[in-house]
Copies of this chain bind each other. A is one copy, B any other.
Amino acid sequence: MSAEKTAITPTRAQDFPEWYQQIIKAADLAENSETRGCMVIKPWGYGIWELIQQQLDRRFKATGHQNAYFPLLIPLSYLEKEAEHAEGFATECAVVTHHRLETVKDPVSGKTKMIPAGELAEPYVIRPTSETIIGAAFARWIESYRDLPLLINQWANVMRWEMRPRLFLRTAEFLWQEGHTAHETQHEAIIETRLIHRQYEEFLRDHLAIPVVAGEKSENERFPGADMTLTVEAMVQDRKAIQAGTSHYLGQNFSKAQNISFAGRDGAVQLAHTTSWGVSTRLIGTLIMAHADDDGLIMPPRVATQQIVILPITPKEDSRQAVLDACQALAETLRHQTYFNDPLRVHVDTRDLGGGVKKWEWIKKGVPIRIEIGPRDLETRKICIQRRDQAANEKEFAIKEDFIRSAHEVLDEIHQTLLTRARTFRDANIASCQDLEAFHAHWAQDNPGWLHTPWAGTPEQENELSKQHKITIRCIPVPGASLPAHLGEPAASTCILTGQPTSAYVLWGRSY
Contact = CB atoms under 8 A, between A and B. Distances in A.
Contact of A69 (B93, B103, B161, B175): B175
Contacts of A92: 99-100
Contacts of A39: 71
Contact of A173 (B40, B66, B73, B75): B73
Nearest to A76: B114
A114 B90 contact: yes
Interface in A281-328: none
A96 to B, nearest CB: 5
A17 interface: no
Contact of A103 (B90, B118, B136): B90
A114 B67 contact: no
A98 interface: yes
A436 B49 CA distance: 57
A68 interface: yes
Given A100-B161, A103-B90, A125-B101, A133 B34 contact: yes
A486 B464 CA distance: 83
Contacts of A42: 68
A94 B125 CA distance: 11
Contact of A40 (B70, B73, B101): B70
A495 interface: no
Interface residues of A, number: 64
A79 B114 contact: yes
Contacts of A94: 73, 96, 98-99, 124
Nearest to A158: B72
Interface string A60-89: 000000111111111110111000001100
A194 to B, nearest CB: 24
With a 10 A CB-CB cut-off, give which of A66, A99, A124, A161 has the most chain B CB atoms: A99
Interface in A400-459: none
A339 interface: no
Given A95-B99, A97-B98, A99-B93, A34 B78 contact: yes
Contacts of A484: none
A96 B99 contact: no
A40 B69 contact: yes
A97 B71 CA distance: 19
Integer count of this chain's copies in the complex = 2
A97 B87 CA distance: 20
A159 B126 CA distance: 12
B100 A116 contact: no
A365 to B, nearest CB: 14
A38 interface: yes
A90 B101 contact: yes
B35 A124 contact: yes
Nearest to A140: B31
Contacts of A31: 137, 140
Contacts of A173: 71-73
A137 B93 CA distance: 26
A43 B66 contact: yes
A185 interface: no
With a 10 A CB-CB cut-off, give which of A74, A92, A95, A152 has the most chain B CB atoms: A95
B73 A101 contact: no
A180 B484 CA distance: 49
A499 interface: no
B136 A116 contact: no
Interface in A99-134: 99-103, 113-116, 118, 123-126, 133
With a 10 A CB-CB cut-off, give which of A79, A86, A100, A133 has the most chain B CB atoms: A100
Contacts of A97: 95-98, 116
A337 interface: no
A46 B69 contact: yes
Given A35-B73, A100-B90, A68 B41 contact: yes
Contact of A67 (B38, B47, B115, B118): B47
Nearest to A67: B46
A396 to B, nearest CB: 32
A33 interface: yes
Given A90-B103, A114-B86, A43 B67 contact: yes
11 contacts: A38-B72, A40-B68, A41-B69, A42-B68, A43-B66, A73-B173, A79-B114, A80-B113, A90-B100, A95-B116, A97-B116
Given A47-B66, A72-B126, A93-B101, 14 more contacts: A31-B140, A33-B133, A33-B137, A34-B71, A35-B72, A35-B75, A38-B71, A47-B67, A73-B173, A90-B101, A92-B100, A93-B99, A101-B125, A126-B126
Interface of A: 31, 33-35, 38-43, 46-47, 49-50, 66-76, 78-80, 86-87, 90-103, 113-116, 118, 123-126, 133, 136-137, 140, 152, 156-157, 159, 161, 173, 175
